[in-house]
């Protein structure tokens, strides 16, 4: 019932009003009352408390803003989105990228560095991640103490305590060697699998409108973030979406992704003289070959390049068939650095699915979120952590007048 408190005037009302401020632009006490069920007196007192601690700011009243003409002008408030910041970090096998965002998730700075000299060296990975966050926060003009949460995406399963299991010949533990200790000057550290963060980004910023989806990172290796009936799947050790099972799938044979597969194929066929000498791919060094080069060559009429696109499309289609059959996902999004060039591969995968006996077939499409999809998902995760644990961070912001 509007006007009757559904909680006390302490922490519960603060949680409710803070959540309302995160979800809306400028608001009045009346609007917050209608959404929270709190009394006017409680809403006004809570807004004063949140303004004192710096979480929201009071604006010009409604009359001054031109929205109110008669009677007593309403007091207006909004989230102080620049009172603190979050960092989203994508620590891939070969590169590290960081985004800095305000409390609304608006990105204010970015930095990226390659991991040079041993991309599975734990100490090098930690040092590179530290350097990238330093660069990104410096570019944003944000001090370490202004960052409330840093969320980190890694190419490994991650359990509820931020740990990766000792598996896959210790590859997972090398990918996730202990970022909490290396980055703790930048607030609370959240660890998550990179594909899971990509899935979170697609739900928050993409065009996904379905409750059951798979988001595939498909560059060097396949990894999936899986949302089923609106719930992100993790599993006992965070391994939901790890696709080592593809080694047992006919026509796939391993979890190697689109770019990893095409480089392997081109290397083998170069060794056996199977690449036509007139192909534009004949002289491209295997180590630098990527999906964009193959698709560009195919679009220019290179028959050999088109054969690679066709093979990659079938490979992707088989992976999608596995995910769809096991989990009944309605949509599969190919995300990450390969997504921009993947459109013809995705189209071939969709055709392959429809030609087979895999009904109902999922919609397969390329993400529009670009190479930073994991870091964007990390920003989403960081802000969700602040909202979910508002009391934990309540003292972390000090209003400008009290600094």
- Whole-prediction pTM value? 0.90
Residue from 248, 267, 254, 190 nearest 223 by CA: 254
Look at residue 395 in the predicted model and tell me its pLDDT: 75
- How many other CB atoms are found less than 10 A from the CB of residue 330? 18
Residue 380, both tokens: 């989403």
What pLDDT was estimated at residue 399? 46
Q: Sign of dihedral through CA atoms 90, 249, 214, 257?
A: positive
Strand 223-228 versus strand 231-232 pairing type:
antiparallel
Question: Would you place residue 389 in the very low, low, confident or very high pLDDT band (cuts 50, 70, 90)?
Answer: confident
Query: Does residue 167 or residue 177 have the better pLDDT?
Result: 177
Query: What is the per-residue burial (b if ≥16 Cβ within 10 Å, else e) of 292-327?
Result: ebbbebbeeebebbbbbbbbbbbbbbbbbbbbbeeb
The three-class DSSP label of residue 273 is coil
Residues 328-370 pLDDT 10s:
999 999 999 999 999 999 999 999 999 988 888 999 999 999 9
Dump pLDDT digits (tens) for 11-21. Answer: 689 989 999 99
Give the CA count within 13 Å in the CB-facing half-sphere of 43.
27
DSSP state of 54: T
Q: For 195-209, what is each residue's pLDDT tens digit?
A: 999 999 999 998 777
pLDDT of amino acid 70: 55
Of the pLDDT bands very low, low, confident and very high (cuts 50, 70, 90), residue 3 is: very low
pLDDT for res 67: 54
The percentage of the chain sitting over the pLDDT mark of 70, rounded to a whole number, equals 92
The residue behind tokens 């949680």 is 15
86-90, 139-143, 171-175: the lowest-pLDDT one: 171-175
Mean pLDDT for 53-66 is 75
Does the pLDDT value for residue 402 go beyond 50? no
**Cβ proximity of 152 and 89 under 8 Å:** yes
In which band, very low, low, confident or very high, does the pLDDT at 210 lie, cut at 50, 70 and 90?
Answer: confident
- Residue 334 · residue 365 · CB < 8 Å: yes
Query: Does an H or E element contain 154, and which?
Result: strand 147-154
Helix, strand, coil share of the chain (percent; to 5)? 45, 20, 35
Strands 27-28 and 76-79: antiparallel
Strands in 27-28's sheet, in edge-to-edge order, are 27-28, 76-79, 56-59
**Paired tokens of 126:** 């930690």
pLDDT of residue 73: 67
Nearest to 90 by CA among 200, 194, 202, 246: 194
- As a whole number of angstroms, the distance between CA 92 and CA 153 comes to 8
Angle, CA 322 vertex, CA 316 and CA 323 arms, to 5°: 90
When computed from its CA atoms, the radius of gyration of the chain, rounded to whole angstroms, is 24
CA distance 64 to 342: 51
For the residues of 218-256, what is the DSSP string, one character each?
A: -SSB-EEEEEETTEE---TTS-TTB-GGGGGSTTT-S-B
Instruction: Report percent pLDDT > 90 for the chain.
Output: 79
Long-range contacts of 340-344 (CB under 8 A, 24+ apart): 340/292, 340/366, 340/370, 340/371, 341/290, 341/291, 341/292, 341/294, 341/295, 342/218, 342/258, 342/291, 342/295, 342/366, 343/295, 344/295, 344/298, 344/299, 344/309, 344/313
Q: What is the pLDDT of residue 66?
A: 53
DSSP string, 301-362: T-HHHHHHHHHHHHHHHHHHHHHHHHH--SEEEEESTTGGG-HHHHHHHHHHHHHTT-PSPP
pLDDT value at residue 349:
97
């Amino acid at each position: 019932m509007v006007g009757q408190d559904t909680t006390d005037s302490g922490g519960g009302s603060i949680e409710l009003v803070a959540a309302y401020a995160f979800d809306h632009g400028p608001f009045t006490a009346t609007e917050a009352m209608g959404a929270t069920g709190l009394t006017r007196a409680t809403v006004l007192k809570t807004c004063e408390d949140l303004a004192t601690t710096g979480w929201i700011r009071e604006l010009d009243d409604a009359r001054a803003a031109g929205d109110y003409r008669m009677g007593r002008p309403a007091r207006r408030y909004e989230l102080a989105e620049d009172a603190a910041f979050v960092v989203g970090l994508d620590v891939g096998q070969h590169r590290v990228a960081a985004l800095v965002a305000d409390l609304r998730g608006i990105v204010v700075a970015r930095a990226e560095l390659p991991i040079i000299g041993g991309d599975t060296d734990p100490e090098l990975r930690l040092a590179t991640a530290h350097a990238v966050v330093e660069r990104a926060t410096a570019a944003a003009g944000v001090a370490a103490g202004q960052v409330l949460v840093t969320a980190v995406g890694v190419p490994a399963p991650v359990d509820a305590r931020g740990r990766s299991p000792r598996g896959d010949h210790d590859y997972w533990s090398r990918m996730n060697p202990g970022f909490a200790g290396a980055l703790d000057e930048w607030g609370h550290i959240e660890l998550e699998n990179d594909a899971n963060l990509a899935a979170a980004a697609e739900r928050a910023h993409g065009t996904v409108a379905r409750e059951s989806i798979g988001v595939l990172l498909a560059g060097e290796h396949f990894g999936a973030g899986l949302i089923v009936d609106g719930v992100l799947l993790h599993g006992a050790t965070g391994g939901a979406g790890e696709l080592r099972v593809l080694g047992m799938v006919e026509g796939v044979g391993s979890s190697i992704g689109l770019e990893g597969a095409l480089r392997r194929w081109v290397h083998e066929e170069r060794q056996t003289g199977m690449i036509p000498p007139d192909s534009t791919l004949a002289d491209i060094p295997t180590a630098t070959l990527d999906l964009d080069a193959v698709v560009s060559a195919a679009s220019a009429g290179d028959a050999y390049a088109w054969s690679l696109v066709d093979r990659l499309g079938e490979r992707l289609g088989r992976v999608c068939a596995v995910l769809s059959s096991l989990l009944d996902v309605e949509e599969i999004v190919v995300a990450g650095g390969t997504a921009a060039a993947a459109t013809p591969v995705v189209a071939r995968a969709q055709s392959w699915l429809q030609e087979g006996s895999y009904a109902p077939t999922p919609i397969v499409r390329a993400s529009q979120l670009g190479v930073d999809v994991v870091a964007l998902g990390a920003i989403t995760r960081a802000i969700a952590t602040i909202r979910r644990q508002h009391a934990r961070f309540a003292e972390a912001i000090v209003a400008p007048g009290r600094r």
